Copies of this chain bind each other. A is one copy, B any other.
Amino acid sequence: MGENQLSNSQLYIGIDGGGSKCRATIYTQDHKQIGTGVSGRANPLHGLEQTFQSITESTQLALADAGLPPEACSQLVAGLGLAGVNVGHFYDQISNWQHPFKSMYLTTDLHTACIGAHNGADGAVIITGTGSCGYAHVGHQSISLGGHGFALGDKGSGAWLGLKAAEHALLALDGFACETALTDKLLAYFEVDDAIGIVENLAGKSSSVYAKLARIVLATAHEGDEVAIAIVKEGAAYISELARRLFTINPSRFSMIGGLAEPLLTWLDDDVAIKVSPSLSPPEFGACLFAQQQYSAESVA
């Protein structure tokens, strides 16, 4: 085992960066959590500088939380699971970052989430938060589906639910579709009384702003609103189909993670819902395990 050749005092930092926030947690060699920090979004699709800033900020917050000085950063071995780095040029740009760590290992947020959810074992995950995507890893096989970003993809995600609801409300307020309770709830949420008021609150805004509407859509669907039900059902049908596609490589475990995982569960098809197992550890722990594995492999080599 390569670990014997490493210092027992080596610290790791697992970083999970997405469209809403960036969470960094520092772990000891034997997986004791000693400090954590949360900063703003870290998705290169929304800007490289902001991504680097969020990573640096969450790291410094984690160091402070662990009672370590800022300069201890250069002693950390970092694992980074980032949204958007399935896109080649973003992967390259972040890999080439003059990072502040001892070593940095980069992969997708899907990969580290999957490692975390199954504590390092093979498996499948679907993430439904601000965005949506699926990932499965079995032996040397892996599948990555969806995650194409707002507003191009991410069907069934919080931002998608919010966008569909806002689209429908605007059509309804212009007289092209039926106004239902969903329209009234969006107007009330923004404290406005017309289509322009909704546009003022959403035009040019990021996916996380749209994702905040998801809870309203889900709650209104539970109250029986036809438009909300149709939106949620369309999103959930896609998530169910996404799961079935991941099951084709026979993952031993399957977890749903992200802010919408629990509220969407009741809307999934039964054959999918029955297979959901709890996520064992958070994505930032998956990022730590990934970093340990990569660092250990390099140290042996």
Contact = CB atoms under 8 A, between A and B. Distances in A.
Nearest to A145: B174
Contact of A202 (B86, B152, B176, B200): B152
Interface of A: 45-46, 84, 86-89, 145-146, 148-149, 151-153, 155, 163, 166-167, 170-171, 174-176, 195-196, 198-200, 202-204, 238, 241-242, 245
Given A200-B87, A200-B88, A163 B151 contact: yes
Tell me the interface secondary structure of chain A in the complex.
Answer: helix
Contacts of A174: 145-146, 245
Nearest to A237: B176
11 contacts: A84-B203, A89-B200, A145-B175, A148-B198, A148-B199, A148-B203, A149-B199, A149-B204, A153-B171, A153-B199, A176-B245
Given A46-B204, A176-B241, A241-B176, A170 B152 contact: yes
A167 B196 contact: no
Contacts of A198: 148
A165 B195 CA distance: 26
Given A152-B167, A152-B199, A153-B199, 19 more contacts: A84-B203, A87-B196, A87-B199, A88-B200, A89-B200, A145-B174, A145-B175, A148-B170, A148-B198, A149-B199, A149-B204, A151-B151, A151-B163, A152-B170, A152-B202, A153-B170, A174-B245, A175-B245, A176-B242
